[in-house]
Amino acid sequence: DSGVTQTPKHLITATGQRVTLRCSPRSGDLSVYWYQQSLDQGLQFLIQYYNGEERAKGNILERFSAQQFPDLHSELNLSSLELGDSALYFCASSVGDGELFFGEGSRLTVL
Amino acid sequence: DAKTTQPNSMESNEEEPVHLPCNHSTISGTDYIHWYRQLPSQGPEYVIHGLTSNVNNRMASLAIAEDRKSSTLILHRATLRDAAVYYCILIDRETSYDKVIFGPGTSLSVIP
């Protein structure tokens, strides 16, 4: 158990819909990272937050947005969903030393 | 971002040592070498990291070349549970670990 909690574990929705994925970091970790992993693809870095502020952006689509709240949990919002958005979405947290702790992921299926 | 190059796949027999190579010829002086692995259907997990000297922990050993342009992750006795994708990543402490980019990694198969 990494200490990072992601909900929901599985989500099935239709094209054009909007979903929110939630991540609770390990206690004391200020950094939260979001990654997307499509079938047989590598981990794509989406975005990183540190203590409520956006710190780095990767290949995140404009239809996607994220935020980190004062209690340090984070949400990834995916809108106008397309079939190609079906993937595993991982959240990771860190104290800021490069050692990332990953959650078990949220599997999104867009039909 | 400094890049790493790893073989796409490797095989090992169970209970034998495994040496997973990583080339990082453009590494900068402030880049730490990190290794993660991802077991099937799980999120990645941290394995080990180092800067210049060789490192050992309960999971593995990390051997870093003197010029730091390459490194090797060593699993001393491979078990079936070690079958995973292994990622070698450079993280620049100057940027406070803001962007952690994973490459394709090496898919390790362990043969019973």
Report pLDDT digits (tens) over A17-26.
999 999 999 9
Cβ atoms B68, B27 nearer than 8 A: yes
CB contact under 8 A, A42 and B105: yes
A vs B, Cβ pairs < 8 A, gives: 62
CB contact under 8 A, A55 and B98: yes
CB contact under 8 A, A98 and B36: no
Supply the pLDDT for residue B97: 62
Distance CA B31, CA B92 (A): 4
Indicate if the pLDDT at residue A57 is higher than 70. yes
Place of tokens 């969903």: A81
Supply the pLDDT for residue A81: 97
Question: Is omega for the bond preceding B7 within 30 degrees of 0, making it cis?
Answer: no
CB contact under 8 A, B42 and A2: no
User: For residue B101, what is the enclosing H or E element?
Assistant: none
CB contact under 8 A, B103 and A42: yes
Q: How far is B76 from chain A, CA to nearest CA, in Å? A: 22
Supply the pLDDT for residue B103: 87
Distance CA B66, CA B79 (A): 29
Which B-chain residues 63-102 have CB contacts (< 8 A) with chain A? Answer: 87, 91, 93, 95-102
Between residues B11 and A39, the one the model is more confident about: B11
Supply the pLDDT for residue B96: 55
Strand pairing partners for B55?
Answer: B62
Decide if A26 touches B, using CB distance below 8 A: no
For residue B96, which residues of chain A lie inside 8 Å, CB to CB? 50, 55, 96
Strand pairing partners for B112?
Answer: none
Cβ atoms A4, A91 nearer than 8 A: yes
Supply the pLDDT for residue A54: 94
Distance CA B18, CA B78 (A): 7
Decide if A56 touches B, using CB distance below 8 A: yes
Supply the pLDDT for residue B30: 86
CB contact under 8 A, B43 and A102: yes
- Please state, for a pLDDT cut of 70, what percent of chain A lies above it: 99
CB contact under 8 A, A98 and B93: yes
Average pLDDT over residues A63-67: 97
Supply the pLDDT for residue B93: 73
pLDDT beneath 50, residues of chain B: none
CB atoms within 10 A of CB A27: 8
Out of B34, B87, B104, whose CB is closest to A98? Answer: B34
Supply the pLDDT for residue A76: 98
Supply the pLDDT for residue A1: 84
